[in-house]
């Protein structure tokens, strides 16, 4: 590369990098609660879910919650689908449990196992103040 090309390259990297870093961090930091459109007639208020607390402060492995199974192996990484309801629908489908059960199983089982975190309906689905 000649000098002009190097400068051009650096300018592009400098302009683009913050957006990539920012959007990746923002996507998860922004999650405080979960309210999925597939539940059309909601019975409960949106569930509280501080994503950063789980992924960063508690340092839980992403693969504890996120998965894409290929040949029985969990190959999920950040570039792949992270929306649980992208696969888990209202009704169970073969080995795929229904969305509500998928959430409840994932969230509650760990809280019970760790003896930490909410396990009652009202703690996870608090009434709006």
Binding mask 92-121 for ligand HEC (x = CB under 6 A): ---xxx--x-xxxxxxx-xx--x-xxxxxx
Minimum distance from residue 91 beta carbon to ligand HEC (Å):
13
Residues from 60 through 89 that contact ligand HEC (CB under 6 A): 60, 62, 64-69, 78, 81-88
Minimum distance from residue 30 beta carbon to ligand HEC (Å):
6
Sign of CA dihedral 65, 66, 69, 73: negative
Minimum distance from residue 79 beta carbon to ligand HEC (Å):
9
Cβ–Cβ under 8 Å, residues 38 and 99:
yes
Instruction: Give the Cα separation of 98 and 101 in Å (integer).
Output: 5
CB-based contacts of 95: which residues, under 8 Å, 6+ apart? none
């Amino acid at each position: 590369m000649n000098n002009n090309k190097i400068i051009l390259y650096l300018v592009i990297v400098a302009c683009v990098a913050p957006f990539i870093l920012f959007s990746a961090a923002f996507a998860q930091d922004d999650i405080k609660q979960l309210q999925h459109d597939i539940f059309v007639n909601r019975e409960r208020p949106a569930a509280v879910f501080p994503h950063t607390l789980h992924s960063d402060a508690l340092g839980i492995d992403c693969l504890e919650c996120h998965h894409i199974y290929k040949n029985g192996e969990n190959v999920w990484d950040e570039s792949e689908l992270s929306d649980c309801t992208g696969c888990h629908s209202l009704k169970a489908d073969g080995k795929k449990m229904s969305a509500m059960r998928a959430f409840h199983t994932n969230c509650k089982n760990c809280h019970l196992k760790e003896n930490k975190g909410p396990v009652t309906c009202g703690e996870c689905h608090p009434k709006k103040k």
